[in-house]
Copies of this chain bind each other. A is one copy, B any other.
Amino acid sequence: MAGFPTDLEIAKAAKLQPLGDIAAEMGIGQHLVTPYGRQVAKIELAAIDELADRPRAKYIVVSAVTPTPLGEGKTTTTVGLGQAMRHIGKRATIAIRQPSMGPTFGIKGGAAGGGYSQVVPMEQLNLHLTGDFHAVTAAHNMLSAVLDNHLFQGNESEIDQHNITWRRVLDVNDRALRNVIVGLGSRLDGVPRQTGFDITAASEVMAIFALARSVPEMRERLGRIVVAYTRDGKPVTAEDIGGAGAMAVIMRDAMAPNLLQTLENTPVLVHAGPFGNIAHGNSSVVADLIGIHSGDYLITEAGFGADMGAERFFNIKCRASGLTPDAAVVVTTVRALKAHSGNHRIVAGRPLPEALLAENPDEVHIGGANLRKQIENIRLHGIPAVVAINAFPDDHPSEHAAIAEIAESMGARSAVCTHFADGGRGATDLARAVAEAADEPSDFHFLYPESAPLREKIEIVAREVYGADGVDYDPPAARQLDSYERNGFGNLPVCIAKTHLSISSDPSLKGAPTGWRLPVREVRASVGAGFIYPICGDMRTMPGLGAHPAAHKIDLDADGNIMNLS
Interface residues of A (CB under 8 A from B): 34-38, 42, 101, 105, 127-128, 130-131, 134-135, 137-138, 141-142, 144-146, 148-149, 152-153, 170-185, 188-191, 194, 215-216, 219, 242-246, 248-250, 252-253, 544-545, 547, 549-556, 558, 560, 562-563, 565
Contacts and interface: CB of A to CB of B under 8 A. Distances in A.
B131 A249 contact: no
A170 B141 contact: yes
Given A146-B549, A181-B184, 17 more contacts: A35-B36, A37-B253, A105-B246, A128-B131, A128-B135, A131-B134, A137-B137, A141-B170, A149-B545, A175-B188, A216-B556, A242-B551, A245-B551, A245-B553, A246-B550, A252-B560, A252-B562
A131 B555 CA distance: 20
7 pairs of A and B residues whose beta carbons are closest in the complex = A245-B555, A176-B190, A134-B134, A179-B184, A179-B185, A145-B174, A242-B552
A181 B183 CA distance: 9
B184 A189 contact: no
B215 A556 contact: yes
A190 B551 contact: no
Identical subunits present: 2
A185 B190 contact: no
Contacts of A179: 183-185, 189
B175 A544 contact: no
21 contacts: A105-B142, A128-B138, A128-B253, A131-B134, A138-B171, A142-B551, A145-B172, A145-B173, A146-B545, A146-B549, A149-B174, A176-B183, A177-B182, A179-B185, A180-B182, A180-B184, A243-B551, A245-B563, A246-B551, A246-B554, A252-B556
Nearest to A242: B552
A552 B180 CA distance: 26
A504 to B, nearest CB: 24
Nearest to A144: B174
A139 to B, nearest CB: 10
A146 B551 contact: yes
A149 B189 CA distance: 27
Nearest to A45: B560
A544 B552 CA distance: 35
Of A127, A130, A245, A249, chain B has the most CB atoms within 10 Å of the CB of: A249
A218 B114 CA distance: 31
Contacts of A544: 149, 152, 188, 190
Contacts of A101: 138, 250
A182 B189 contact: no
A219 to B, nearest CB: 6
Contacts of A105: 142, 246
A248 B555 contact: yes
Contact of A248 (B36, B128, B556): B556
Contacts of A190: 175-178, 544
Nearest to A190: B176
A526 B176 CA distance: 24
A215 to B, nearest CB: 5
A546 B149 CA distance: 8
A509 to B, nearest CB: 23
A537 to B, nearest CB: 15
B138 A172 contact: yes
